[in-house]
Structure 1
Amino acid sequence: MAPLNTAALVQTLRDSSARWTARETPQSQLSDDDKRALLGVIFTPEDRALAQAGRTAAAEAGPATFAPAVDWRNRNGNHVTSVKDQKHCGSCVSFCCTAVVESMASIEQGQLLDLSEADSHFNSSHGASCGGWNADACLEQIKQRGVVGETVLPYMNAFDNPPQNDPATNLWKPYVRPTPNRAATQVSIGKHGLISDINARKQYLTDVGPCSASFDVYDDFFSYSTGVYHHVSGNYAGGHCVEVIGYSEAEQCWIAKNSWSTAWGMSGYFKIAYGQCNFDVYAFATAQDVKLPATHGWSGWESLGGVLTSKPSATSWGPNRIDVVARGADSAMWHRWWDGAHWNGWESLGGGCQSGPSICSWASGRLDTFMVGNDHQLYHKWYQGGWSGWEGLGGVLSSDPACVSWGPNRIDVFARGMDSAMWHLWWDGSHWNGWESLGGVCDSAPAVASWSANRLDTFVKGTDSHLYHKWWNGSKWSDWENLGGYLGGDPAAVSWGPNRIDVFYPGSTFHMTHKWWDGSSWSGEEDLGGVLSSGCGVSSWASGRLDCFGEGTDSALWHKWYA
């Protein structure tokens, strides 16, 4: 199609006393192909049917109660987030739908969000393409899988730098990018819907909030500057999706936010007359019941009593279940557990513990405990409907053991040997294997965590009091990695999900100190307070949940949790 002459359009608008003005915009100066790249609605058969039927009359079920005018930028505050720029990509549907969810989060939850259009468009069922979509499908994806914050996946991070065109589409070529720790920023919706009736649209905008609208774009729209737009000249370019933030009965128009940057229109906003470009023919899409990510934080310290003579060890066999063991003043192993409602115990499990005990679980209702006896050998006692006796597993050990399970009927046990190296023993489901030496010079008992099948991450205090890390990736052991910090005692480690590890230890002031791996890097040291007289124990019964334990200066068990 021939390029639109903006000067001629300006004159036509003056001559016809039109309610809008035109100017050269960054978008009006684009080629036809580049203009079409800014559009991205694939109309559904239902939308096509509505367009064929034409603009429908409003419902006649009683008098309308909607307001004479609505603008959600000024309706008990501003609930419309800033205008963005979709660039050379047909991602307008995701820009519109995330904007609607952002507005609804502000209205429903009082939270101003900045959501990732890249995650919505490219990482969802839509796939890594700058091709079009429709709002109903986009909102269903936000309902089913959620959408992360912009800081987790900035829009431009989905493209090469500089972006490259896909020869097949002449649009930018995007990629699916990883979004680690989605739970920290992931937002979803509880429901979404479609509104076809015109009065019902205005009632929804009055009572609830902004919507998504799709409409037909003609070439003169790219030159829009101010006022109430109506189609005057230029050819059909394609379908577009924008956030409807209000309307005006006096001006007989809808008010909307575009995604072509603030250089277009009225700083990125526009008004469009009722009945124009199928704006009020294609159904409006709505989103409600915004679900925000859980707000996490640390509790204070809770005393669970007892008289401990070792560091505690903890595990969980399922949601809202925690089991803790420690050596008592009589050298027996003592057990206390949380059943989801209250703490039980202490109960004595006997034994003559030279070391503090360790505990892990590989199934609901299953516990495996380990301790080093006075003969420096490892001993095993398990619970499955009842407690077993003690089983000797050999070895010549000089520290508390550490144990973990990475799957059903699998247990891995680690301890320091008499040569100060870390030694490993494992149960493969039918018999015990090892001991094997994993080297190192350990100045503490080891700690171990597992975040997936056949994955083990072990930690020890080195002779320089730094934290050292060695891991099994399913086929081989790594070398030792120095993670720095300062350890004043034995560490503990746990994983709450894939590629997540949390490590705890007494720090330089004997406060509980926390260091974690978030899937891409290690944090620094976080001071969690308290005054410990032992190493730490930790368990996790859900993603984002940590239960930490230590012996206080009063020899009681103390508990601090993150949820």
Structure 2
Amino acid sequence: MNVDELIKDLSQRGKRWTARKTPQSELDEEGQKALLGVVFTQTDIELRANPPTASAPPAGAVTFDPAVDWRNKGGNHVTSVKDQKYCGSCVSFGCTALVESMASIELGALLDLSEADSHFNSAHGPSCGGWNTPACLEEIRLRGVVKDAALPYMSAFDNPPVIDPTTSLWKPYVRPTPDRAANQVSIDSHDLVVDINARKQYLSKVGPAAACFDVYEDFYAYSGGVYEHVSGVFRGGHCVEVIGYSEAEQCWIAKNSWGTAWGDGGFFKIGYGQCNFDVYAFATAKGVKLPAGLSWRGWESLGGVLTSSPAAVSWDQNRIDVVARGTDTAVWHRWWDGTGWRGWESLGGSCQSAPAICSWAPGRLDIFTVGTDHRLWHRWFQGGWSNWESLGGLLSSAPAAVSWGPNRIDVFARGMDSAMWHLWWDGGAWRGWESLGGILDSAPAVASWAQNRLDTFVKGTDSQLYHKWWDGGAWRGWENLGGYLGGDPSAVSWDAGRIDVFYPGQGFSLRHRWWDGSGWRGEEDLGGQLASGTGVSSWAPQRLDVFAEGMDSALYHKWYA
């Protein structure tokens, strides 16, 4: 196909989509067919002969939302776009993407599953030939699918990949997956949705689905907008994850598996009634089951109406205290007592900033905030709440606070000169303020993993993460840890030599970096859509509780255990 002619044709005919040369449009016929891989079932064939309709809902009933996109429906539940390469494994890419999304929706778990395990190590066998969604999902139900880290997709091929002479496609192999049980994810059930309105209702109320459709030559040159077939020959059947729809645009929204260089960053819209997209049944999956072991869970809403980043601390096993500024500029407090969430309670104050919280003993809480006079204010709990006291300073950010031992507190904040300033309680009196330099573009975060050890983190003027630390004898740093920060960071230590740092990243999803005792790891994308910086606490080794303000101004909680 001549893509330049297609571009002119789309413009002249006033179509709602645009085209460009893509890596896929430049392939020959054999290469384009290699990217497809649906073997249509008897059900699909019967639906093609007798297309489904939209059932009439009861009079006055609203059965689905006017528009849905699971990239922005209580957070982002759609995992990153992948590339199936020169292999007809699209069914496994569509089905594993579906299970990843349902894990996020049902459990708050962020998964990256192995398409190689799904396609080549299952009953399908080591071939780049096609498949169908019911068979693929049944394999995931019966035998599960491992995480991608246990069997990366490209590990199933030679390096470089070789062509299988029997199929003219890449030749894959069955690769062993050691410790399979520790990585295996499965589902309780899967189903097919046929009725058009039922599909929209499912997408609106439950989650994404896997969808098959017919691909024509012009689709390979898709760049953006609402696709409809204009020209070019039929190439075959393809499977994708359908993540939403728009009644206003009269289209489905889907995630492809041809990499981010194709389409709209790997995503596309396709008009209702086009290419049998709404003829072949949508495949669904429910009841994601994770392997035993540590994993991320949440997000859960803890309510409230926040006007700042939250802060959190733990003063004992299975205890968490969270504070944030409310709409009345007071500090509000919510806590987990081991059995349930309690509060909110107002602690008063007139806050210009988000509050900070720390604890140096069971039953002890110290809260700090910057008042409307730009001074640091302090209130504490020990058998009862004290009054607010002024600790001075002249500050331009929220404070951060930590304790590295009994009756010890260290507080950090940005000054009016954009440097980081430090105040500390040594058990007898408040000392400081001292300037630690730097040019901060955020409030600081602080953690401590040992007596007389402090690790601070800030967003620099280049929006990257910077680290400065006290090693017991002197201040060291600043060191650049990279990344992109969209807001204030938070930090915590669960054990000696361990630090976990969180912040809103690109797209305001939650990002995570950690020091494991030998080096910095991450940046890990934990999803969600944050409207503030973060707060974090830990009440045991390998336990993390992260908090942020959601787009609805409520407090949200995600945890690792």
Q: What TM-score do the two structures reach when normalised by structure 2?
A: 0.52
Partner residue in 1 for 2:317: none
| CA deviation map 1:532-557 (0-9, x unaligned) | xxxxxxxxxxxxxxxxxxxxxxxxxx
Displacement after TM superposition at 1:53 (Å): 1.1
Pairs within 5 Å for 1:465-484 = none
Q: Deviations over 1:79-125 (max 9, x none)?
A: 00000000000000000000000000000000100000000000000
Is this contact kept in 1: 2:57–2:63, CA < 8 A?
A: no
The residue number in structure 1 matching 2:7 is 10
CA distance in 1, matches of 2:121, 2:52: 35
* Contact kept? 1:252, 1:274, Cα under 8 Å: yes
* Residue 64 of structure 1, CA deviation: 3.9
Q: Secondary structure at the match of 1:246?
A: strand
Determine the structure 2 residue equivalent to 1:97.
95
Q: How does 1:105-116 map to 2 (within 5 A)?
A: 105-116=103-114
Partner residue in 1 for 2:245: 247
State the alpha-carbon separation in 2 of the partners of residues 55 and 264 from structure 1: 30
| Contact preservation (8 Å) 1:118, 1:154 | yes
The answer to whether the 8 A contact 2:20-2:223 is kept is yes
Q: For 1:88 and 1:64, locate their aligned partners in 2 and report how far apart those are by CA, in whole Å.
A: 43
CA distance in 1, matches of 2:3, 2:56: 40
Q: Deviations over 1:9-38 (max 9, x none)?
A: 111100110000000000000010000000
- The equivalent residue for 2:46 is 49
Paired residue type of 1:284: F
Partner of 2:223: 225
Q: Which amino acid aligns with 1:42?
A: V
Partner of 2:81: 83
Instruction: Tell me, yes or no, if structure 1 residue 209 matches structure 2 residue 226.
Output: no
User: 1:263, 1:58 → 2: CA distance?
Assistant: 38
Q: How does 1:482-501 map to 2 (within 5 A)?
A: none
**Counterpart amino acid of residue 119 in structure 1:** D
Counterpart of 1:331? none
Aligned partner of 1:32 among 29, 33, 44: 29
CA deviation profile, 1:51-90 (whole Å, cap 9, x unmatched): 1113523344553420000000000000000000000000
Q: Could you give the per-residue CA deviations for residues 183-224 of structure 1, whole angstroms, max 9, x where no partner exists? A: 111100000000000000000001110000000000000000
Counterpart CA distance in 1 for 2:54 and 2:5 is: 35
The one-character-per-residue Cα deviations of 1:290-336 (angstroms, maximum 9, x if unpaired) are 00001269xxxxxxxxxxxxxxxxxxxxxxxxxxxxxxxxxxxxxxx
* Number of the residue aligned with 2:158: 160
Q: 1:407-446 maps to which residues of 2 (within 5 A)?
A: none
Q: 1:189 to 1:49 in 2, by over 3 A?
A: same
Corresponding residue pairs, total? 295
The aligned counterpart of 2:257 is 259
- Distance in 1 separating the partners of 2:279 and 2:200: 13
State the distance in 1 between where 2:16 and 2:2 align: 19
Q: Is the 8 A contact 1:55 1:278 kept in 2?
A: no
**Could you tell me which amino acid in structure 2 is paired with residue 270 of structure 1?**
F
Indicate the SS of the match to 1:187: strand
User: Residues 296, 64 of structure 1: CA spacing in aligned structure 2 closer, same or farther, 3 A cutoff?
Assistant: closer
For 2:104 and 2:236, the matched residues in 1 are separated by: 31
The CA distance in 2 between the partners of 1:61 and 1:125, in whole Å, is 43
2:399 match? none
Which of the residues 114, 124, 138 maps onto 2:136?
A: 138
Per-residue CA distance 1:394-448 (angstroms, 9 max, x = gap): xxxxxxxxxxxxxxxxxxxxxxxxxxxxxxxxxxxxxxxxxxxxxxxxxxxxxxx
In the alignment, the residues of structure 2 paired with residue 204 and residue 46 of structure 1 have an alpha-carbon distance, to the nearest angstrom, of 20
Residue type matched to 1:262 in 2? T
Contact persistence 2:120–2:127 (CA under 8 A): yes
Q: Secondary structure at the match of 2:288?
A: strand
Q: 1:179 aligns with which of 153, 177, 180?
A: 177
Does the 8 A contact of 1:64 with 1:199 survive in 2? no
Query: Distance in 2 between the 1:262 and 1:244 partners?
Result: 16
Residues 1:296 and 1:232: Cα distance change in structure 2 (over 3 Å): closer
In structure 2, how many angstroms separate the alpha carbons of the residues matched to 1:18 and 1:296? 49
1:274 to 272, 276, 282: 272
Aligned equivalents of 1:215, 1:190: Cα separation in 2:
26
In the TM superposition, what is the alpha-carbon distance from 1:247 to its structure 2 partner? 0.2
The residue identity in structure 2 corresponding to 1:181 is D
TM alignment of 1:532-547, pairs within 5 A: none
Structure 2 contact 52–194 (Cα < 8 Å) conserved:
no
User: 1:195-206, aligned counterparts within 5 Å?
Assistant: 195-206=193-204
1:265: Cα distance to partner?
0.2
Partners in 1 of 2:22 and 2:271 — Cα distance? 21
Match of 1:286 among 269, 284, 287: 284
**Residue of structure 1 in register with 2:19 after alignment:** 22
Residue of structure 1 equivalent to 2:116: 118
SS at match of 1:201: helix
Aligned Cα RMSD in Å? 1.3
Q: Secondary structure at the match of 2:177?
A: coil
Q: Secondary structure at the match of 2:146?
A: coil
Shift of 1:246: 0.2
Report the 3-state secondary structure (helix = DSSP H, G, I; strand = E; otherwise coil) of the residue aligned with 2:184.
coil
Do the aligned partners of 1:59 and 1:197 also contact (CA within 8 Å) in 2?
no
Deviations along 1:352-382, one digit per CA (max 9) or x if unpaired, are xxxxxxxxxxxxxxxxxxxxxxxxxxxxxxx
Amino acid at match of 1:280: D
Q: Which residue in the other structure is 1:485 paired with?
A: none
Q: 1:188 to 1:21 in 2, by over 3 A?
A: same
**How many angstroms apart in 1 are the aligned matches of 2:131 and 2:294?**
35
Give structure 1 stretches of 5+ with no counterpart.
Answer: 298-562
Secondary structure class of the residue paired with 1:243: strand
Whole-angstrom distance in 1 between the partners of 2:52 and 2:284: 20
Task: State the partner residue of 2:149.
Answer: 151
Q: 1:266 deviation in Å?
A: 0.1
The CA distance in 2 between the partners of 1:55 and 1:195, in whole Å, is 10
Contact 1:218–1:235 (CA under 8 A) maintained in structure 2: yes
The answer as to whether partners of 2:90 and 2:238 remain within 8 angstroms in 1 is yes
Letter of the 2:249 counterpart? E
